[in-house]
Amino acid sequence: MTINRLVSFVAIFGLLTVASADEWHYPTPESNGVIKDPEHWGGQCDTGRRQSPIDLTHKAAVRGDFSPFLFSNYMNPIRNAQLANTGHSVQIDNSDPSVTLYGGGLPGKFVLDQMHFHWGSEHTVNGVRYGLELHMVHHDARYKTLAEAAAVKNAVAVLGVLFHVANQDNSHLEVVLETSDDIRDVAGKSAPLKGRLSPHNLLPRNRTAFFRYEGSLTTPTCAESVIWTVFTESLPVSLDQVELFKTIHDGAGHELVNNYRSLQPLNARALVYTTDMTVGGSGAGLAPVTAIVLAAVALVTAGRLW
């Protein structure tokens, strides 16, 4: 095989690999809305032992102690914000590297890459699923891109924000839903946000009570590189707003009635829970996430985890 043919083969193979990796979908629910069979996406999605999402249950959690989160430039509106229909969700990308997060037990500074939504929630809390879940996806600042960080354990940090169904609309979601009218029917299409949106406005007021565990991306490739933080305080969303999210079309032109992955087993992982009384509290000190996780795993091994 000549060098030119070899290069052509590698390029074509790479394109085929990317294309096949994107050819996945969420299971279609039954007429009663129940999903009968879990998704089968192959690779690490099927074989991994540290997959997400999971059921966040207090019975399986150990109490943790973390320093407070420190948010930088989260109150600023996202610059040149675009809303994209990815075929699997609606997503807002951030191109400003100064929007960063650190503290909260994270092993360094993390840069906000993008925000996207799942309807209903991917994580459940004590078996209860919420109407909507926002993922704020960050990569470790030591790496240039999210793709590069996703290949490294604990180099991606995702903040999960749950939304409970309420009577009133959430005004901060209106700019997202109004813009979604322009991209609703075409996967891969994007449009400028019809207003200003600050990440801060999509965070709960109480950012000291949350679940923490080490897991994966919830979509292919399901890379096991994520430090998960899911806040226990939820934000409101109206039922009408949830129904509007469900009208987004996927790559096949069908409505995305749901876009949440099925729950994954916890296996031998530690699930840590912290409240506003324990974050930065006295006694145990400001333990980093790695130390707490290792201690919790030791308790699991010893059969002392409650």
Looking up tokens 């394109």 gives 15
Q: Domain 41-302: which CATH class? A: alpha beta
Tokens read off for 221: 């490739």
State the burial class of residue 278 (Cβ atoms within 10 Å of its Cβ: 0-12, 13-18, 19+): middle
Provide φ and ψ at 262, rounded to 5°: -65, 155
Q: For 114-130, what is each residue's pLDDT tens digit?
A: 999 999 999 999 999 99
What pLDDT does 149 receive? 98
Confidence of residue 22 (pLDDT cuts 50, 70, 90): low
Q: At 180, which helix (H) or strand (E)?
A: helix 171-180
Is 249 assigned a catalytic role?
A: no
Confidence of residue 23 (pLDDT cuts 50, 70, 90): confident
Confidence of residue 55 (pLDDT cuts 50, 70, 90): very high
Given a cut of 90, is residue 3 above it in pLDDT?
no
> Collapsing DSSP states into helix, strand and coil, what is residue 92?
strand
Q: Where are the domains of the chain?
A: 41-302
What pLDDT does 291 receive? 43
Cis bond leading into 120, ω under 30°? yes
Q: In angstroms, what CA-CA distances link 296 with 240, 283, 289?
A: 41, 17, 11
CA neighbor of 222 nearest in space, from 47, 83, 38, 66: 47
Asked if 293 and 268 touch (Cβ cutoff 8 Å), the reply is: no
Q: For 65-115, what is each residue's pLDDT tens digit?
A: 999 999 999 999 999 999 999 999 999 999 999 999 999 999 999 999 999
Confidence of residue 171 (pLDDT cuts 50, 70, 90): very high
Task: Give the ranges where 66-156 is alpha helix by DSSP (H).
Answer: 146-149
Instruction: Read off the pTM.
Output: 0.84
Question: Residue 234 and residue 160: Cα distance in Å, rounded?
Answer: 10
Q: For 281-306, what is each residue's pLDDT tens digit?
A: 433 333 344 444 444 434 433 443 33
- CA end-to-end span of the chain: 61
- Catalytic residue, from 25, 40, 58, 88: name it: 88
What pLDDT does 277 receive? 56
